Amino acid sequence: MYARRRHIYFGMMTACLVLFVGGWAVVRLWSTPVAIAMCMIAMVIPPVAAMIANRRGPEDRWWDDPSGDPQSDEWWDELDGKRKHS
C-alpha cells in the first residue's frame, strides 16, 4: 500500500510541475489566462498529494503500535476504549 501511495504522490507532483512549467514556458505565449488557470490548478495539487500520501490505510499501524512501556500502553488503551480499567 505504501508503494502505491508513494507512486500516486510522485505522479501528482510531476503533473504539478508539468502544469506550472508548461503554463509559463509554452502556453503563456498563446494565452496568458490559460497559463494562469494552469498555475491555479497546479497550486491545488501539492496539498491533495500530501493528504493522499499520508493517509492511513486499514492495515497500517502508525499510532496504534505499542510503545514498549506496559503502563503507558495500558493507559492509552484505556483512553482509546480498547480495554476497560478494572
Domain coordinates in residue numbering, the chain = 1-56
DSSP H or E segment with residue 74: helix 70-80
pLDDT digits (tens, 9 = 90+) for 24-75: 999 999 999 999 999 999 999 999 999 988 887 666 656 666 677 888 778 8
- pTM: predicted TM-score of the whole model, two decimal places: 0.65
* Res 58: pLDDT: 65
Among all chains, which residue has been given the C-alpha cell 493517509?
55
Position 86 pLDDT exceeds 60: no
- Specify the pLDDT at position 63: 63
Give the model's pLDDT for residue 80: 74
Q: Rounded to whole angstroms, what are the CA distances from 78 to 56, 70, 75, 85, 86?
A: 22, 12, 5, 6, 10
